Amino acid sequence: MAKEKINLLIVDDEQQFLKSTATRLEVRGFHVIAVDRGEKAVETARREPIDVALVDLKMPGMHGEQTLETLKEEHPWMEVVILTGHGSIDSAVECTKSGAYSYLQKPCEWERLLEVLAEAYKKKVMNQLDIQEEKMNELLEMSAYSSPRALLDKIRQLDQED
Ligand SMILES: [Mg+2]
């Protein structure tokens, strides 16, 4: 997985859209993993350090909203952008209430897609910094009244969390 690139997961059951979007985004400097099922997206995100996921709303099996919810539950800092076809805008708006960063209607304007992905990535970095800060504050609070051993255990526990 490329460290210097934004790691992007694209999930869409339309093979042609998936391939062409992945190729274009690779050319623009993203490291892209493209999968055609929500289930595969969830599995991939468990193995790879994904920064941002671009998720189709309507897919057979695990649909976009379930995929979004699972990704956010397992990787709270990750940002998810929903892709929706014509006629599903209401559900896409609902997704932002379930934690999606934003939604885009297909076919999406290329520049808009790049802009939203870059914004979502910035948000992901901020999310991680917030999580780090929370951990730091927790440790500072603990250090006032805990034994060195308990503190070390806590540090190890925090280190093992995502
Ligand atoms: Mg679809």
Ligand 1 center–CA 77 separation, angstroms? 25
* 83 or 89, which is more confident: 83
Contact 123/101 with Cβ under 8 angstroms? yes
Segment 35-45, tens digit of pLDDT: 999 999 999 99
Domain ranges within the chain, ordered by starting residue: 7-125
Segment 30-76, tens digit of pLDDT: 999 999 999 999 999 999 999 999 999 999 999 999 999 999 999 99
Q: What is the CATH number of domain 7-125?
A: 3.40.50.2300
Question: Residues 138, 143, 144, 149: what is their CA dihedral angle, to the nearest 10 degrees?
Answer: 130
Ligand 1 center–CA 36 separation, angstroms? 9
0.85 surpassed by pTM: yes
Ligand 1 center–CA 64 separation, angstroms? 9
Ligand 1 center–CA 38 separation, angstroms? 10
